[in-house]
C-alpha cells in the first residue's frame, strides 16, 4: 500500500499533499489499530476480518473506478479533479480497512490455531509467505501502475475479494475457543 500511496503522490507532484496524506495515513493506522485491538475480543476475529476484507475490496474498486473515469474525462473538467480526490480517499479507506483486520488479526489467529508441536515451523512458513507476497506486490506495483492505473487496482480488488471469500469459507472464529474446539471446527 505504501507503494501505491507514493505513486499517487508522485502523480500529484504536490509536497503539501504528500505530507498531508502521510499524516492522515499514520493517524488512521494508529487509531484504527487501537480500535481493532479493543474490538478483537468483543466482536471476534472472523467478523473483523470479514469487515476488513470487504472495506478493502470496496475501496480498491472505488480507486480503480476513479482512475478509469479520470482517464476518460477531460483533464480540465471538475469530474477529473473529483476522481483524483476519490482515488485518494479510496486509498486512505484501504489503509483503514487493512489496519482494522487484515494487518493484525492473521498473526493473532495463527497463534491460536496452530498446535504447539508445529507452531514454530508453521508460524515461520506463514511469516515467510506473508513477506514473500508483500515483496511480490511491492516489486510488481510500479509495473502494474505503469501498465494501467485502473487495471492495477482492479487486480488488487480481485485479490481482496479472494481474501474475503477465503475468510468466509475457511477461517474459523477463534474468540473464546480452546485449541481443541478450533481444531474440531476444521474437521466439519
In the predicted model, what is the mean pLDDT of residues 91-99?
91
At 98, phi and psi to the nearest 5?
Answer: -60, -45
25-30 long-range contacts, Cβ below 8 Å, gap at least 24?
25/92, 25/95, 28/92, 28/95, 28/96, 28/99, 29/95, 29/96, 29/99
Q: Which pLDDT value is given to residue 79?
A: 83
Q: What is the pLDDT of residues 68-78, one digit of tens each?
A: 998 788 777 77
Confidence grade of residue 84 (pLDDT, cut at 50, 70, 90): confident
Q: What is the pLDDT of residues 116-164, one digit of tens each?
A: 899 999 999 999 999 999 999 999 999 999 999 999 999 999 999 999 9
Helix or strand or coil: residue 73?
coil
- Superfamily of domain 2-187, CATH level 4: MFS general substrate transporter like domains (1.20.1250.20)
Report the alpha-carbon distance of residue 182 to residue 161 in Å, rounded.
24
Confidence grade of residue 85 (pLDDT, cut at 50, 70, 90): confident
Confidence grade of residue 57 (pLDDT, cut at 50, 70, 90): very high
Q: Is the pLDDT of residue 3 over 60?
A: no
Q: Which pLDDT value is given to residue 15?
A: 53
Amino acid at each position: 500500500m505504501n507503494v501505491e500511496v507514493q505513486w499517487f503522490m508522485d502523480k500529484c507532484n504536490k509536497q503539501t499533499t504528500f505530507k498531508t496524506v502521510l499524516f492522515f495515513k499514520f493517524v488512521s493506522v494508529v487509531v484504527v489499530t487501537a480500535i481493532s485491538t479493543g474490538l478483537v475480543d468483543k466482536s471476534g476475529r472472523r467478523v473483523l476480518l470479514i469487515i476488513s476484507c470487504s472495506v478493502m475490496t470496496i475501496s480498491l474498486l472505488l480507486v480503480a473506478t476513479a482512475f478509469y473515469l479520470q482517464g476518460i474525462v477531460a483533464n480540465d473538467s471538475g469530474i477529473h479533479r473529483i476522481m483524483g480526490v476519490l482515488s485518494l480517499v479510496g486509498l486512505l479507506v484501504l489503509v483503514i480497512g487493512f489496519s482494522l483486520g487484515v494487518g493484525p488479526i492473521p498473526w493473532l489467529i495463527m497463534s491460536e490455531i496452530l498446535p504447539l508441536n508445529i507452531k514454530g515451523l508453521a508460524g515461520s512458513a506463514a511469516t515467510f509467505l506473508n513477506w514473500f507476497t508483500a515483496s511480490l506486490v511491492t516489486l510488481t506495483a510500479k509495473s502494474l501502475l505503469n501498465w494501467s492505473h485502473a487495471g492495477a487496482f482492479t487486480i488488487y480488488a480481485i485479490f481482496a475479494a479472494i481474501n474475503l471469500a477465503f475468510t468466509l469459507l475457511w477461517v474459523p472464529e477463534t474468540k473464546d475457543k480452546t485449541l481443541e474446539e478450533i481444531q474440531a471446527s476444521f474437521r466439519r
